[in-house]
Amino acid sequence: MARPINACVLGVGLSGLTFHVPFILALSDVFTLHSVLERNPKTPGGKVKERFGVDVKIHRSLDEVLADPEIELVVVGTPNETHFPFAKALLNAGKHVLVDKPVTATYKEAKELGELAKSKNVVLYAFQNRRWDSDFLALKKLLAQPETSSQSLGAITEFESHFDRYRKGLKGTWKDQPLPAAGLTFDLGSHLIDQALCLFGRPSKITAFIQNLRGVGHPEVDDSFTIYMQYNTGLRNPLPLTVILRSHILSVRSPQVRYIVRGTQGSYIKYGIDVQEDQLKVISSPRAILENQYGKEPEDIWGTLEKIEADDLTVTKSKWPSSDAGAYIELFKNLGAAIRNGAELTVKWEEASAVVEMIELAHQSAKEGRTIVPSTAMSSAVDVTVDLPSYSLSFPVRVQPSDTVRQLKQEISHKCPGQPRPDGQRLIWRGRLLADHESIDSLWKTEPRIVHLAVHPSAWSSTPPTIPQSSSPPQPQPQPTPTPTLNPSVRWTSSAPRTEFTPFPPEAHRVPLTFVSHIHKKALSYLSKDVPHPAPLQNASTHRSAAVQTLERFGWTWPAILDEEFPPSSEGGVQYNITNIDGQSFLQLSTPEQKPTPAQEHAIKVLSYTLSILSMPLPATPTVRTIQSQSATVPPHVNQLLQQLGMPPLRAANVNNGNPVLANQNNPVFAEIREIPIRPLLAPLVMLVFRTMLLLYFVAPTRKPIFGLLILAWMLYEIWRPIRDGMRNNWGRVPPNQPPRPNNGQVPPVQPGQNPAPPAPGAVPLANVAPRPGAAGPVTLDMQVGAVFESLANLNIEQEERILNRAPGASTEEPTLGHKAMTFLSLFFTTLHPAIWNRRRVALRRREGVIRTEANVRNAPAPSPNEGETELTPEQNAAARRREELRAQFNERPRWIRGYIERVVDEDWVDDSD
């Protein structure tokens, strides 16, 4: 178990004692309240001792906090003007920081803090706790309803979000002073803007009205605001959308309105506000946060859903429940996981910075009396094409260049039919799985932007897309299946079609894969108690050989992991239960908080291969029949039918002493004609006529007889060469008294007096296969042509691979300009032939695949300990060593080789442009 994080809270006013200290004390297994900053404590234990009865260390200045080496996390809950200088000093001291909203007074300051945190490799988190309000969670669930749902609002056209109250006088705190980031827009507006950006993204226009409505206090400190955020038609909103954010200081209403949402199919109105703040002010103990009734919203303030019926006249009303309790504690759980385990931040700093930017633009709009267009509005967004191959579906998604892969998944959830949840999506680009923290602009500098999407069946929020029916069954395509990340909180998945996610592939045509099926069931038994452990497999070696041959026939490589023994079983681990989805059985993780055992980790690796193998369609095993040669008469109606079809008639075979005799077999003329290899003659003759026509088109032989004579001589030579080769080798005939050569391992003809050898077990007779010609027959000519093509295609390949495989640090001179020019010209002319180019790009792709694989390992992030552990596993240590070795080898290579490797990694595959 990881050691709790030592936390210090700056400020013990309303913010510290209500929103920070209780959660740190409640999560005693994640945090330890090490100290607080209280400049003038009135009692020995300070306000924390007075409020919660807990003794903590008290610092009287920020310098003491900075100098305390035991403090890991600092919560900045001080006045808004101090957020930037305090956070900057703490980040420079190497401490993790949680900053209350608004994070800074300016967007420039927020951006500076974000860059500083990255450079220091520490966590910088924004306290946007209102994302876990009960009513906001209910609203998100409502807006996620598909349009086919009976509770859908349709396309949203207007969205109102309020934080209204009635207060005539000032509170007399620092919030009433004309300081940086003062006023209600920075205070409550931070929450409203953050929620709007979460739901709808960045607006196209902003128009704001900000004022000191009461006329009390300093006129520059606003107490009311109305902000209009306009959205153009886009992927999220098929109709123009207006978002109205409002906080009125003199609103007489009980309860106050919270949300008003208008859509094309209905409306939603919600009164009252989340109850967590009121509960936190009066709780007797921080442990009350963990009780069932904490954060539960009373039913009398649940939202009301009004829907228009099909007649466009009748309106029905119903309650939309805030069934999920408010959970500010989830923010602190995510913060602890990010610090200890490197988990992804739910509230990203870039999102908190965008809130400050919107507030600045709102103040600018109110001051100048005009509409402001954000500099990076949706007009600067980029399109990413998403391919969902499992459902033959492709669609575009528009995101900002600065967005992350996680935000791309959120957009996909809105755009893709079935609304797959982001956690169940896997995005694959150039053969690798994209991490949620990667940014769009770092992945794609130019077009095209294409990703492949795989969705776990349990991630569909509604009915998934319809799989188009094909007239012919798909041919099996060998595809590597990446090993999934062994994180028990993430369901393992696959990039294969949806039916392959089920751990129980169909049994049809799996007889050759009995060995794989046995290993598959064995792996499942380690993950789920619902799957019994299979009995030992009889004749395992025979079944394994059959499975290996089957996979190789389809172009697969046998996975070595299927031959490895499972580690011994141990107590604990994760547990999967069998669940039924759309009539199919799936495994669903029921213990996400547990860590898999070594045997379960091995089982998940095994399943990543067996799922794809067992889901591969296999043709039924053909029936082999032995046919005895005998004389038979062809029925007349068969030849009549063949004649109607334009096909030659059948003739019964003559049998002479048990050996079939063909018609005209004794005719020497027909025998000679049959033995002439037509294909080696016809192919060069056609190409010769074609090239000759080209020459005659460009050269006039009548005006230049010498060219005509040269062309005639060349034609005669080209025609004579195959004839000469055929005559020289007797047209591929086997000389007398020489036994024919075996054909691809077939049994030689039976000599008189010999008994025929029995066929090999499982052998399938080869029908209509003529004996292979001799050493210089037509097949040999084709092989010679293929050898020439292979030599031209692999020009300089072997030399270049020797250079790439040369030991790092060895002296390797860069080819001269003349060498490069000659190589270019040679390749330019030789690869004009399609066969040569196909062979060359296969060689290049094979070499580039090795380079890309090494680059992925070399550029992979440093591994971090698994959840609940402080040290790396042996596998992680080995991966780290391999990564450092590849990096050292790469740095020792000459600059020009490093440049070539970087170009290979950055550019597309050599044949992607075809």
Closest CA to 101 of 19, 168, 27: 19
Kindly compute the dihedral angle of the four CA atoms of residues 808, 811, 812, 818, in this order, to the nearest 10 degrees: 170
Q: What is the mean pLDDT of the chain?
A: 78
Task: Specify the range with the lowest mean pLDDT, choosing from 548-557, 713-722, 879-888.
Answer: 713-722
Find which of 98-107, 485-494, 852-861 is predicted with most confidence, using mean pLDDT: 98-107
- Give the pLDDT of residue 651: 53
d(CA 409, CA 412) in angstroms, rounded, equals 5
- Give the pLDDT of residue 730: 53
440: left (phi over 0), alpha (psi -120 to 50) or beta: alpha
Closest CA to 54 of 285, 278, 288, 332: 285
Q: Could you read off the pLDDT of 327-362 as tens digits, one per residue?
A: 999 999 999 999 999 888 999 999 999 999 999 999
Distance from chain centroid for Cα 192: 32
d(CA 647, CA 637) in angstroms, rounded, equals 13
pLDDT-based confidence at residue 106 (cuts at 50, 70, 90): very high
Strands (E), 54-155: 57-59, 73-76, 96-100, 124-127
- Is the pLDDT at 469 greater than 80? The verdict is no
- Give the pLDDT of residue 488: 31
pLDDT-based confidence at residue 77 (cuts at 50, 70, 90): very high
Task: Specify the range with the lowest mean pLDDT, choosing from 593-602, 623-632, 797-806.
Answer: 623-632
- What is the rounded average pLDDT of the residues 614-633? 51
CATH number listed for the domain at residues 383-455? 3.10.20.90
Find which of 116-125, 420-429, 773-782 is predicted with most confidence, using mean pLDDT: 116-125
pLDDT-based confidence at residue 842 (cuts at 50, 70, 90): confident
Q: H-helix or E-strand containing 454? A: strand 450-455
Specify whether the CB–CB gap between 634 and 653 falls below 8 A.
no
Instruction: Characterize 263-298 residue by residue with b for buried, 16 or more Cβ atoms within 10 angstroms of its Cβ, and e for exposed.
Output: bebbbbbbbbbbbbbebbeebeebeebeeeebbbbe
Task: Specify the range with the lowest mean pLDDT, choosing from 148-162, 505-519, 587-601, 724-738.
Answer: 724-738
CATH architecture of 134-326+339-368: 2-Layer Sandwich (3.30)
Specify whether the CB–CB gap between 610 and 519 falls below 8 A.
yes
- What is the rounded average pLDDT of the residues 716-725? 66
Phi, psi torsion values for 163, nearest 5 degrees = -130, 75
Written as one letter, the residue type at 369 is G
| Three-state DSSP class for residue 57 | strand
Q: Compare 159 and 395 and report the one with higher pLDDT.
A: 159
pLDDT-based confidence at residue 653 (cuts at 50, 70, 90): very low
- Is the pLDDT at 619 greater than 70? The verdict is no
Q: Compare 700 and 440 and report the one with higher pLDDT.
A: 440
Q: Could you read off the pLDDT of 527-566 as tens digits, one per residue?
A: 888 888 888 888 888 888 888 888 877 767 888 888 888 8
- What is the rounded average pLDDT of the residues 291-300? 90
Q: Compare 446 and 815 and report the one with higher pLDDT.
A: 815
CATH architecture of 5-127: 3-Layer(aba) Sandwich (3.40)
Q: Is the pTM of this model over 0.85?
A: no
Phi, psi torsion values for 826, nearest 5 degrees = -65, -45
- Give the pLDDT of residue 726: 60
Distance from chain centroid for Cα 173: 50
- Is the pLDDT at 67 greater than 90? The verdict is yes
Domain ranges of the chain: 5-127, 134-326+339-368, 383-455, 513-614, 833-863+872-909
Tokens, residue 83: 């957020």
Q: Could you read off the pLDDT of 412-426 as tens digits, one per residue?
A: 887 788 888 888 899
- Give the pLDDT of residue 391: 81
- Give the pLDDT of residue 625: 43
pLDDT-based confidence at residue 684 (cuts at 50, 70, 90): low
Phi, psi torsion values for 332, nearest 5 degrees = -70, -35
